[in-house]
Amino acid sequence: MSTEVRQMFSSIATRYDVTNEVLSFGIHRLWRRTAVRLSRAKAGDSVLDCASGTGDLALAFKRKVGATGHVLGTDFCPEMLESAPAKAAKAGLQVDFQVADAMALPFEDNRFDVASIAFGIRNVDDPVKCLKEMGRVVKPGGRVVVLEFGQPEGVFGALFRFYSKTVMPAIGGMLTGNRAAYEYLPRTSAAFPAGERFLSLMDQSGAYAERSAHPLTFGTANVYVGLVR
């Protein structure tokens, strides 16, 4: 799956930001701010952002940790990272970026205070291995934060599923020229474990002393927080 996902993101990289803004109505910004808040990152902390894409979450963390803190954004798709350094520079933020696979992070144990991944863990071949790797590179007592789509229920859930299956592929295809990518993304979101089922994956990794789930926007997304052993 990794090769196919890498090729898919490569094909939509140049239009990813504008498409994301349109399809989410900008609410993804609020979700990222919530993830940063729940991470309890503070000034001077060192943060690793996995599946960083065009760098939005990495930049949000840099604003939190300040000049004395360090943020490193990684992604296994080089094309997704291409625009991130310029975006950081335009915002006046010093953030480092490098190509790296979240399932095999090239960093020593206990290096970071916080590690994060937003809308990326459902695209890795082995989510449990990814969770274990992220926990490995975070210091004991530090936090791993996962922001991922959920499966809302009730009337809102029905509306969300209609939007995901019908509207997103149409608009995403129009804006990027790759309709298949925006059929894949909601399909994987709908199938990926959410809520208690995702917390079970965190337990399976053996990396966390505590873990919690925080639903956002009627369960459209969740922030999962793990306290590293």
- 203 labelled as ligand-binding? no
Q: Average pLDDT in the 109-135 region?
A: 97
Q: Average pLDDT in the 190-197 region?
A: 96
Q: Average pLDDT in the 176-184 region?
A: 94
- 45 labelled as ligand-binding? no
pLDDT value for 4: 84
The model's confidence at residue 49, banded by pLDDT at 50, 70 and 90, is very high
CATH classification code of 3-9+25-151+193-228: 3.40.50.150
The model's confidence at residue 1, banded by pLDDT at 50, 70 and 90, is low
Summarize pLDDT for 76-94 with one digit per residue, the tens. Answer: 999 999 999 999 999 999 9
Residues in the chain, overall count:
229
The rounded percent of the chain whose pLDDT value lies above 70 is 100
**pLDDT over 90 (residue 2):** no
pLDDT value for 34: 98
Q: DSSP states of the chain as a string?
A: -HHHHHHHHHHHGGGHHHHHHHHHTTHHHHHHHHHHHHHT--TT-EEEEES-TTSHHHHHHHHHH-TTSEEEEEES-HHHHTTHHHHHHHTT---EEEE--TTS--S-TT-EEEEEEES-GGGSS-HHHHHHHHHHTEEEEEEEEEEEE----HHHHHHHHHIIIIIHHHHHHHHHS-HHHHHHHHHHHHHS--THHHHHHHHHHT-EEEEEEEEETTTTEEEEEEEE-
Q: Average pLDDT in the 186-197 region?
A: 94
Distance CA 10, CA 92 (A): 26
- 101 labelled as ligand-binding? yes
The model's confidence at residue 6, banded by pLDDT at 50, 70 and 90, is confident
Q: Average pLDDT in the 9-15 region?
A: 92
Domain range list for the chain: 3-9+25-151+193-228
- Residue 58's nearest CA partner among 136, 114, 130 is 114
Supply the mean pLDDT for the chain: 96
Summarize pLDDT for 20-45 with one digit per residue, the tens. Answer: 999 999 999 999 999 999 999 999 99
pLDDT value for 3: 82
Helix 168-176 vs helix 2-12: crossing angle, to nearest 10? 70
- 54 labelled as ligand-binding? yes
